[in-house]
Chain A
Amino acid sequence: AQSVAQPEDQVNVAEGNPLTVKCTYSVSGNPYLFWYVQYPNRGLQFLLKYITGDNLVKGSYGFEAEFNKSQTSFHLKKPSALVSDSALYFCAVRGRDSSASKIIFGSGTRLSIRP
């Protein structure tokens, strides 16, 4: 069975500092991995995805994520946080041998950037 864990409910970072939002996954075979962001009362916005190739994936708004197969992780990172990055972040996984339909989401991590 596929699963995603986001071990931190909340991450607090000062503006200008680097940020990391952690994600680990469990799936049979190689995964497809995604990060989404959700602002209050809005749907999810796609940030980036890992399909294959380079383990470092660059996405929207200066975010990037590193796929680590040995640690089954896909942590989201940004070199310098902005107050506007404050939102709810979801990691998600889809197995390659699945029906290629549903994505399994983590429970989310609330990122708070203080000025």
Chain B
Amino acid sequence: DTGVSQNPRHKITKRGQNVTFRCDPISEHNRLYWYRQTLGQGPEFLTYFQNEAQLEKSRLLSDRFSAERPKGSFSTLEIQRTEQGDSAMYLCASSLDQLAGTDTQYFGPGTRLTVL
């Protein structure tokens, strides 16, 4: 069990550019979550996959954001036309499906995005 990994760890980009982040979950975990965390706040839910199906999206996830999990393993989160307000830590978590709601989410180290 190597834990959840995220790449890159840091990304600096200019406003208007597109960025893509990758998350590799714990190998046997079928659920994958994306959260965003800004300074001084707790993580905010963005979206959730069960296997390859994206089952829920937050209204925080504007049309500039898209997430995929094509084979039910790793996931990517893309932000198009980045804005300064997108600067945040993007966290990925994974879990193993259990009785609804009881699964424990294990988090990766995050990708810190800075939009200049």
Contact = CB atoms under 8 A, between A and B. Distances in A.
B23 to A, nearest CB: 11
A49 B104 contact: yes
Interface residues of B, number: 26
11 contacts: A36-B107, A41-B112, A42-B109, A42-B110, A44-B93, A46-B105, A49-B102, A51-B102, A102-B33, A102-B45, A108-B42
Given A43-B110, A44-B91, A107-B41, A102 B101 contact: no
A43 B45 contact: no
A1 interface: no
A43 B109 contact: yes
Contacts of B112: 41
Contacts of A34: 104
A95 B91 contact: no
A84 B7 CA distance: 28
Contact of A96 (B48, B58, B101): B101
Contacts of A90: 42-43
Interface string A24-44: 000000001010100001111
A43 B33 contact: no
A44 B102 CA distance: 18
